[in-house]
Structure 1
Amino acid sequence: MQTKTLRILGTRGVPAAHGGFETFAEYLARYLVGRGWRVIVYCQDDGEGPVFEDRWEGIERIRIPVAAEGPKGTIVFDWKATAHAAGFSDLCLTLGYNTAVFCTLLRLKGIRNVINMDGIEWRRQKWGTAAKLWFWANDWAGCWLGNHLVADNPGIFDHLATRVSKRKITTIPYGADKLSEMPDTPVLERGLAPGKYWTLIARAEPENSILEIVRAFSRRRRGVKLAILGRYEPERNAYHRAVQQAASDEVVFLGAIYDPAVVKSLRFHATGYLHGHQVGGTNPSLVEAMGAGNAIIAHGNKFNRWVVGPDARFFSDEESCAAAIDEVFDDQEALGAMREKIIERYDETLTWEKVLAQYERLLLDWLR
């Protein structure tokens, strides 16, 4: 019997240490290996040297050293990974479309390639004109060059359906662990009391509504804290400086935390989560908050509304954010009911078990 083989491109590799796609790649690879697949993941290493191979948790890793840093390094890595994968006939799963033009090589070789099209990157405020044009062009390229596309949210499906046939798109959301018990030591070490704080976990960028949330939260005494995770450099970044200047003494900036166990503890012992992302599909941070049983106050765009369901509270600006915070914080009964409904929504749709099983079914179709 032929071995079921998959090559995963588009991430910095496994184990996950950088972001949502890396976490997804790790979970999917381990899941498939446990179900008899051969899985090869392309991994970006810092520095120079030849490409080499090793194994981790039963997953084969193609490790590609890249001397360049930042976006340039990512582009170099993606090209080398795609060129390497083009030397084989195995099914590929490409995570993200930021360098989708390189998938021309796979298409020319007749190699089947499923592309997860991620969010609408070219709409993000943080990019300049040249970067937006690059992402826009690669968004189109991914639609044309992929044999099949994955949308992580119905809103992304609708976007892709303006470019390709709906038959070419499958909607599969992102997943997250369900947290049932986590140590409170990381919480206490950071001066927080379990059940007496909310979290906000996001890159410090205007499109994530952080300034609006901090201003809304800081309008009056809350009796709870807002713990913000992320890197802030107020001496170099005017937006970071504005956020910190708007914060009351009940807002705590914890810095960038990359230890998954610490982040999970902070999520689990929080009462709720404030989510301001305005652009994108199914955001991993939002799903992870749901898996932790948090109450949710989120920006009310169509992406977030689909993910969290109708029982969260939503806002569109500073005023409506302040109103939602006032309502939720002053009604403990409603807060408890919201948390129960959000867990139900998570259990129905967003568990890793359900998400990964959907991916395997899709990949099996393309193996055939």
Structure 2
Amino acid sequence: MQLNILGIRGLPAAHGGFESFAAKLAPYMRDRGHDVLVYCQSEGQDASARHEDTWEGIKRVHFSPRLSGAVGTMEFDLACVRDVVKRPGVDLVLGYNTAIFCGLERVRGRKIAMNMDGIEWKREKWGIGAKTWFFVNEVAGANICSVPIADHPAIAEHVARRCRKQPAVIPYGGDLIEEADPTVLLPMGLAPQSYLVSIARIEPENSILEIVRAYSRRPRGAKLVVLGNFDDRNAYHREVKASAGDEVLFPGAIYDQAIVQSLRFHAQAYLHGHTVGGTNPSLVEALGAGNAVIAHDNRFNRWVAGEGHRYFTDENDLDAIISDTTTGGAWLQAARSAARSRHREAFRWDDILAQYEKVLLDLAGGN
């Protein structure tokens, strides 16, 4: 089949979860004998023009928006849609943020699979204008696409209320990490089992402030490593840092996978404060590393991590769980075993990618 992937900034992956997913799916489909085209956002040329190349056997079509920020992203997405309608194949759209543009594809009778991502319009960081935009596009995407794809059963239920289709439930995948070099931790002053780790965007709905405040209530005898990009112009980011005790480290955003994998693998536990969304990649990756998980108590996190882990509803809960953890809590070893079992059961990449291939082949065959 011919597969066209839209909705990301391109390959090789250098941005978020969808790019990382596409970096898994595109080579998988190529190796399975399919032709794959990926749209890429580049710089230095007019968005009305395009250039094409091939990367590791995958065709890439590049556009560069004239504008910046969110408007530039919309300009890029529209250019991709206007181009793809002239090409053969099935379209996979990752995310619904500009789903109304996909109406052009449906007018041309195209087959579209769309990953519906999380419930973006509920995120606290957006103002009323952005929330309205995301809500409209969520409804539009669910109804325009041929097959909506949800990465979590709760997201599938949510999407099903927007349309008359039954979404396909395919979660995000994660690599299995069975060993990691501990020496890469030395520049941060860390040793295996001497710290807990949080890896997330520094946003209110990810409970970063609550995690830092709870951890900083008392001496722990262990470090808390908070990975994420901080901007001192952001009031929330400043508040998080101001709330931190001496045992909290802010190494910034780390993109070196060897370091990130080692941070996960050698941590006492992984802290996950996400309150909105479906199957979060960072939580899945923690399971693949065999992490004991301390997560915000909601239906999204409980389905992903499963039994054997610890869940908190407020800072008092979290304080008690952290104390139990840093004093060598008996729950840790069982939780690590449960993490590997849950990853093996639901989040192996080979299984995830095979499910995507089936959905796309069914679309290509007219089913």
* TM-score higher than 0.5: yes
Partner of residue 211 from structure 1, selected from 209, 212, 216 = 209
SS of corresponding position for 2:330 = helix
Match of 1:72 in 2: 71
- Residue 277 of structure 2 is matched in structure 1 by 280
Partner in structure 2 of residue 344 of structure 1: 341
**What residue number does 1:18 align with?**
15
Q: Which residue of 1 aligns with 2:89?
A: 90
Q: C-alpha separation between the residues in 2 aligned to 1:85 and 1:265? A: 40
**Residue type at the aligned position of 2:181:** P
* Cα contact 1:187–1:269 (8 A) shared by 2: no
Among residues 25, 30, 40, which one is paired with 1:28 in the alignment? Answer: 25
- Counterpart amino acid of 1:165? R
Whole-angstrom distance in 1 between the partners of 2:67 and 2:336? 45
Q: Deviations over 1:315-335 (max 9, x none)?
A: 111111112222333344311
Q: Any residues of structure 2 matched to 1:289-300 within 5 Å, and which?
A: 289-300=286-297
Deviates more, 1:343-352 or 1:187-196: 187-196
Contact kept in structure 2, 1:329 and 1:335, CA below 8 Å:
no
User: Which residues of 2 match residues 165-204 of structure 1 at below 5 A?
Assistant: 165-167=164-166, 169-204=167-202
- Alpha-carbon distance in 2 for matches of 1:350, 1:191: 32
Any residues of structure 2 matched to 1:329-368 within 5 Å, and which? 329-368=326-365
* Match in the other structure for 1:157: 156
Instruction: Tell me the percent identity.
Output: 52
Q: Deviations over 1:245-281 (max 9, x none)?
A: 1111110000112222322222222222100011011
Residue 224 of structure 1 corresponds to which residue in structure 2?
A: 222
The residue type paired with residue 279 of structure 1 is V
Shift of 1:222: 1.3
1:237: which partner in 2?
Answer: 234
SS of the residue corresponding to residue 42 of structure 2 reads strand
Contact 1:214–1:247 (CA under 8 A) maintained in structure 2: yes
* SS class of match (2:137): helix
Contact 2:222–2:326 (CA under 8 A) maintained in structure 1 = no
Contact 1:5 1:39 in 2 (8 A): yes
The residue that corresponds to 2:112 in the other structure is 113
Deviations along 1:164-214, whole A, 9 cap, x unmatched?
2353x1100000111112222321122211221111111111111011111
Larger mean CA deviation between 300-309 and 185-194 belongs to 185-194
Corresponding residue to 1:247 among 244, 247, 255: 244
Deviation per residue, 1:72-102 (Å, 9 max, x gap) = 1111110001111011231000000000000
d(CA) in 1 for partners of 2:43, 2:260: 25
Amino acid in structure 1 at the alignment position of 2:204 = P
SS in structure 2 of the partner of residue 55 of structure 1: strand
Give aligned pairs, total: 363
Instruction: Say whether residues 1:257 and 2:254 are aligned partners.
Output: yes
Are the equivalent residues in 2 in contact too, given 1:232–1:255 (CA < 8 A)? yes
Between 1:150-159 and 1:201-210, the stretch displaced more is: 201-210
Residue 133 of structure 2: aligned partner: 134
User: 1:182, 1:264 within 8 Å by CA — same for their partners in 2?
Assistant: yes
- 1:321 maps to 318
Name the CA distance, whole Å, in 1 between partners of 2:164 and 2:319.
Answer: 42
Contact 1:182 1:265 in 2 (8 A): yes
Contact 2:174–2:285 (Cα < 8 Å) also in 1: yes
Q: Taking structure 1 as reference, are residues 362 and 144 closer, same or farther at Cα in structure 2, changes over 3 Å only?
A: same
Q: Which amino acid aligns with 1:193?
A: A
Q: C-alpha separation between the residues in 1 aligned to 2:266 and 2:307?
A: 23
d(CA) in 1 for partners of 2:259, 2:45: 32
Contact 2:171 2:279 in 1 (8 A): yes
Q: Find the residue that maps to 2:318 and give its secondary structure.
A: helix
Superposition map of 1:42-57 within 5 A: 42-49=39-46, 50-57=49-56
Unpaired segments ≥5 residues, structure 1: none
| Residue of structure 1 aligned with 2:34, choices 28, 34, 37 | 37
Counterpart-to-counterpart distance in 2, 1:258 and 1:315: 28
